[in-house]
Amino acid sequence: MAASNYTSESIEVLTGLEPVRKRPGMYTDTASPNHLVMEVIDNSVDEALAGFAKEISVNLHKDFSVTVEDDGRGMPVDIHPEEKVPGVELIFSRLHAGAKFTNKEYTFSGGLHGVGVSVVNALSKKLKAEIKRDGKKFEISFANSLKKKELKEIDKVGQRNTGTKITFKPDESFFDTEKISAKSLSYSLRAKAVLCPGLKIKFKNEISGDKEEWCFVDGLGDYLSTELGEGTYVPGEPIIGEFNDDETALSWAVIWERGDRESINESYVNLIPTLQGGTHVSGMRTGITEAIKEFCDYRKLLPKGVKLTPDDVWKNCSYILSAKLKDPQFTGQTKEKLSSKDFQNIATSITKDSFSIWLNQETQAAEEIAFLCIENAQARARASQKVERKKITKGITLPGKLSDCVSSDFEETELFLVEGESAGGSAKQARNRNFQAVMSLKGKILNTWEVNTDSVTQSQEVKDIAMAVGLDPGCKELTGLRYGKICILADADTDGAHIATLICALFLKHFRPLVEKGHLFVAQPPLFRIDQGKDVFYALDEDEKDQIVKQLTKQNKVKKIEIQRFKGLGEMNPSQLRETTMQVDGRRLLKLTLEKGNTATSMMDKLLSKKRAADRKDWLETKGNLATLNE
């Protein structure tokens, strides 16, 4: 029971970085240290946005420490007039200390709260900053958020040799995992290079040995075209728009596609990804929608009774949007959504005016876009007159993250259960929308092997799977099954195999008739891509790769052979995923069946039952040498 004498002595005053260490979830994403890395990188990118940095290097070390270096002006090392400590010490040791609250030093910047790198220091075991400025090199270091070594001059450098180098090791006790996702980091760095033309960004992953470098000069249009790959687009090249003044900058690339793939929708504010969109996205969508509607009205293109909605306009549209503004307001420190209310009207006005001019200059392409939007409106009207596909018995609405297919033909429909949100996005673009549905899963699902069938749907992920499939756990018949094939699609590594095993266990234990009738499949994405000249081959594993390389070498010893190892589904672009894993003609699907005398149930019990840990240990000791590990 709590003490009853609640007095002034009970009140704690947290100073310095104590609030961050006490409640880290209020300041950063505690799932992994990735957000800390991006806070440091964003500081360097702000120097590039201000025109002072031309190159940023990021190094992910084997112990999951990170080094970020730029050639900007270098953090201030002079004594702050009021606080009487060096500027760099103030930046790392005090919340809400920074140069971005006004626009004197940075016109546009991603760091606005003054808590970014101080949070990094607060949640790190150690941090060292090296600053090159005014012909001198300085160093200061911290341990567990406290200053370990005073700022001191350690070397002389050239007057033009300036910049900041920060090395830090996140404290794993504050995060769900100490591992930093190199895939996510690489994606973010590439996007920042695209959005800041001329900025060179280097990334070295010491864990895998990979090195990457990006420097784009052609901007958003080429990036969008590259990401989309081959397809039938309207117009043939993305429509580019750009606006700049002293207060605001807005640039975008948009294109429509005739096809079944999911769209690419990416938005950024001051080069920071806004995964949840925000007022800049809403403004652009409204502006372009109004421009198209006005164009249709002026040209009298709309059939009688047809009205365009924003969904009709944006159904087939892919876009990249980059906004820069002086004082953006975000929802939370992770900055995933722009909440600046005034900017929505500004973005609407800018995009509407610009797009209206383009529509009336490029009338042939404009009419093609208009007719595509009208077709969407007519299809929507027809669908509303039929029984909705996105319903199952008793009117239960299907999960929102399920991207359903058009066809209702049980014999041809397929549902892909995909590991991870990123891979799910690629799969949605790669699928044939007519008969392939996709639902992404958030990593490893619950181990349901020992969970009672009556309570298994208490897990939201399992409930979503059951609703999508159309069957209740423990069913005896397949009445209501919505797809002819249920396909498990996971990475071709050990983590992916674990996830696939958990999903197999779910169906074997709680939807056994579905397995017995042969409706469960495991998709087999390739682990390697082999290139020899213009010829491309894919290999499922090491043995198959070695066979292909041996055969190619025998056929042509002159041409160089290049081998790429896919780290995961998210690394494959949609066209590769479609060609190797989802396209009916070229894919490999492993059908899971239960035959008489099958030992799958006993094996699953040994692998997944908590009470059989001793059996697993014996099994690993006697059979472990037979395992093939994907490094």
The Cα–Cα gap between 414 and 537 comes to 26
The Cα–Cα gap between 26 and 629 comes to 39
Tokens of 320: 């990249």
Determine the 3-state secondary structure of 19 from DSSP.
helix
Bridge partners of 27, per DSSP, are none
Give 551's contacts (C-beta < 8 A, 6+ positions apart).
none
Active site residue 493: yes
The Cα–Cα gap between 429 and 417 comes to 14
Task: Decide: 414 and 583 in contact? Cβ < 8 Å.
Answer: no
446 DSSP 8-state letter? P
Cα–Cα separations (whole angstroms), residue 137 to 75, 76, 88, 153, 544: 11, 12, 13, 6, 53
Set 39, 47, 419, 464: catalytic member: 419
Task: Decide: 372 and 258 in contact? Cβ < 8 Å.
Answer: yes
Closest CA to 470 of 420, 522, 404: 404
Closest CA to 336 of 110, 24, 46, 580: 110
Set 290, 327, 362, 495: catalytic member: 495
Set 257, 491, 571, 579: catalytic member: 491
φ, ψ for residue 520 (rounded to 5)?
Answer: -105, 130
Task: Decide: 44 and 164 in contact? Cβ < 8 Å.
Answer: yes
Token pair 């190892």 in the structure block, residue: 565
Listed as own residue / partner, the contacts of 607-612 with beta carbons closer than 8 Å and 24 or more positions apart are: 607/501, 608/447, 608/449, 608/450, 608/501, 608/502, 608/505, 609/449, 609/450, 610/450
Set 18, 412, 493, 544: catalytic member: 493
Largest CA distance in the chain: 86
Active site residue 172: no
Task: Decide: 329 and 338 in contact? Cβ < 8 Å.
Answer: yes
The Cα–Cα gap between 268 and 321 comes to 6
The amino acid occupying position 277 is G
Active site residue 171: no
Determine the 3-state secondary structure of 156 from DSSP.
strand
The Cα–Cα gap between 358 and 294 comes to 13
The amino acid occupying position 239 is I
Number of H helices, E strands in the chain: 18, 24
For the chain, the C-alpha Rg in angstroms (whole number) is 28
| 34-49 vs 182-195: helix crossing angle, rounded to 10 | 10
The Cα–Cα gap between 317 and 312 comes to 10
Question: Any idea which residues carry the catalytic annotation?
Answer: 419, 491, 493, 495
